[in-house]
Structure 1
Amino acid sequence: MKDYSVLLYYCYTPIADPEAFREEHHRLCLSLNLRGRIIVAAEGLNGTVSGLREDCEKYMETVKADPRFARIDFKVDASDKHTFAKLHVRHKPEIVHSKLHHIDPNKRTGIHLEPLEFKKMKDQDDVVVLDVRSDYEHSVGRFKNSVTLPIENFRDFPEKIDELKEKYKDKKILTYCTGGIKCEKASAFLLDQGFENVYQLHGGIIKYGFEADGEDFEGKCYVFDNRLTVDVNKVNPTVISTCYVCGTTSDRMVNCANPECNIHVAMCEACGETMHGACSDTCKEHPKVRPYNGTGYYQKELNGYNPLKGLKRAKAN
């Protein structure tokens, strides 16, 4: 058994004083030696963190003990080390940037389908499986025959609504994303815009991998930690992405070595070595290009990182 866990979670629930809660939550994470990214907003909590398995279990118990988060659904993956180098707990207007401030998933959202329910329903003739993630995410992995959108960020999703209406207004729409959070607002927005039969994959791709063995999810799932991608499909895995440089089949995801580009693309090992991790000759010769270490992941400089930064009443020794 691996010593570390990686948690992915969210919960839409009213938080009366999000800044005070942010401070309290920051201290909790420090006490448990967790690392990762957590967003607190008046509408709820969203996070992905890593830590020793025992510390993550304590964290989940503590969070669920708060009545506001009693129904939170933690997706738990095993790891042999931390998947983050830092801890950031931030207060923001939304727990996922969407431009859909008027949408409250607690009032109305798509019908939640558990992974096995989603699996049973996804191939029916009157169903459209809709990926609401960004283009670089679905470029490396997506459900078979799913509809994908050419969007760079989830906040661009509302701009595609007219196109979706024109093509799929009378269909059953099954939305999915990495862990479920984007689908809460995406499915609610579809209902708001007149779609009548809207569903969402509860727990997202990650939970589908755990409970339905990832069947018919093609490629890998993009994740927002040091791993970049994770395997999902244990039944009929395939590779759908191609190297950005040479076009050969590859599911090896990298960030361009030029920090001013930093695009997320698939790149085979051979091109990674030849291009020194850069996506183009221009980026390869950029004066700020980062040294390539063979992984395509560039750990952000710690630059005097202080895990206590942001706390109002505590200072580093």
Structure 2
Amino acid sequence: MKPILNISAYLFVTLSDPAAWRESIRSQASALGLKGTVLLAEEGINLFLAGRADEVRRFVGWLRRDATFESLAPKESWSDDVPFGKLLVKVKREIIRMKHPAIRPAAARAAAVDAATLARWLDAGCDDAGRPVVMLDTRNAFEVDHGRFAGAIDWRISKFSEFPQAVLKHRASLEGRTVVSYCTGGIRCEKAAIFMAEAGVENVLQLDGGILKYFEEVGGRHFHGDCFVFDARSAVDASLGAVPVS
């Protein structure tokens, strides 16, 4: 086992005072020697942290002791070194910027499909109702270029705030199929699925936990390439190991 535990997690939950959480989270994470980024907003929390396993898990345990974050479910991977240079804890307008404030995942989650079920559907070419399944990549184009699900739709967006307009432009092409939105860790595909459903796209699901959870539970089945991550590792493969720099 490699010595450094990396976690990524998000939770859409209403925070009445993100600034107060910023100070307590920064203090706790710093005391435990963790590095990475924590984003806070009124809509919730999004974090990427790394450090010694016992310290990382102590931090998660501390955070989940508060009822606000008790359902936080980090995804884990391991590395030889900490892939972050410092600790940043920031308050933002959104924890993932979409510029559609009416999309409020904390009020109601988007319908989701778990990794094992999705892999079974992709094996069969259809969902349990017999509808063809199409994978929709909600990530930026440069991320998609590192790897994606076989046959996935890629609208070549350069930032997530472009996604809503792309949906409206291509909505008709999604009709009659089960659309599964996916992203790195789940946060973008959750907002994406809610927006699509509200825009009138039927049979929309998010991939629960994103690519990282899929790799953890299923491996690389139906996925071609690696998954880009926003740290010094650059990308991880289906075993969740850092991709060697060529």
Larger radius of gyration: 1
Other structure's SS at 1:133 match: coil
Shift of 1:252: 7.5
Other structure's SS at 2:62 match: helix
How far apart in 1 are the matches of 2:239 and 2:175?
A: 30
Cα distance change, pair 219–65 in 1 and its aligned pair in 2 (3 A): same
AA matched with 1:197:
N
The aligned counterpart of 1:206 is 212
| Matching of residue 167 in structure 1 with residue 173 in structure 2 | yes
Superposed CA RMSD in Å reads 1.6
| Matching of residue 221 in structure 1 with residue 227 in structure 2 | yes
How far apart in 1 are the matches of 2:40 and 2:118?
A: 29
How far apart in 2 are the matches of 1:161 and 1:208?
A: 24
How far apart in 1 are the matches of 2:32 and 2:244?
A: 32
The aligned counterpart of 2:5 is 5
How far apart in 2 are the matches of 1:121 and 1:192?
A: 25
List runs of 5+ in structure 2 lacking aligned partners.
none
How far apart in 2 are the matches of 1:164 and 1:68?
A: 37
| TM-score normalised over the length of structure 2 | 0.92
| Matching of residue 136 in structure 1 with residue 142 in structure 2 | yes
Answer yes or no: is the 8 Å Cα contact 2:43–2:106 preserved in 1.
Answer: no
Shift of 1:108: 3.6
AA matched with 2:165:
E
Match of 1:156 among 155, 162, 170: 162
The aligned counterpart of 1:189 is 195
Which runs of structure 2 are paired with 1:1-317 in the superposition (5 Å)? 1-122=1-122, 123-124=125-126, 126-232=132-238, 269=246
Shift of 1:160: 0.3
Q: In the TM superposition, what whole-angstrom CA distance separates every residue of 1:98-118 from its partner, at most 9, and x where no partner exists?
A: 112110113344311111011
How far apart in 2 are the matches of 1:117 and 1:105?
A: 23
Q: In the TM superposition, what whole-angstrom CA distance separates every residue of 1:169-225 from its partner, at most 9, and x where no partner exists?
A: 332111110000001110000011011211111111011111001211100100000
Answer yes or no: is the 8 Å Cα contact 1:97–1:155 preserved in 2.
Answer: yes
Answer yes or no: is the 8 Å Cα contact 2:216–2:239 preserved in 1.
Answer: no
Answer yes or no: is the 8 Å Cα contact 1:218–1:233 preserved in 2.
Answer: no
AA matched with 2:200:
G
Cα distance change, pair 224–163 in 1 and its aligned pair in 2 (3 A): same
Higher helix content, 1 or 2:
2
| TM-score normalised over the length of structure 1 | 0.72
Answer yes or no: is the 8 Å Cα contact 1:2–1:78 preserved in 2.
Answer: yes
AA matched with 2:192:
A
| 74-83 or 165-174, larger mean C-alpha shift | 165-174
| 161-170 or 69-78, larger mean C-alpha shift | 161-170
AA matched with 2:221:
E
Shift of 1:80: 1.3
Higher strand content, 1 or 2:
2
Answer yes or no: is the 8 Å Cα contact 1:22–1:89 preserved in 2.
Answer: yes
Answer yes or no: is the 8 Å Cα contact 2:14–2:106 preserved in 1.
Answer: no
AA matched with 1:218:
H
Answer yes or no: is the 8 Å Cα contact 2:168–2:199 preserved in 1.
Answer: no
Q: In the TM superposition, what whole-angstrom CA distance separates every residue of 1:57-102 from its partner, at most 9, and x where no partner exists?
A: 1011111111111111100101111110111100001001111211
The count of aligned residue pairs is 238
Answer yes or no: is the 8 Å Cα contact 1:109–1:191 preserved in 2.
Answer: no
Q: Percent same amino acid among aligned pairs?
A: 32
Answer yes or no: is the 8 Å Cα contact 2:38–2:48 preserved in 1.
Answer: yes
Answer yes or no: is the 8 Å Cα contact 1:36–1:49 preserved in 2.
Answer: yes
Shift of 1:152: 0.6
Cα distance change, pair 213–151 in 1 and its aligned pair in 2 (3 A): same
Q: In the TM superposition, what whole-angstrom CA distance separates every residue of 1:247-294 from its partner, at most 9, and x where no partner exists?
A: xxxx977xxxxxxxxxxxxxxx5xxxxxxxxxxxxxxxxxxxxxxxxx
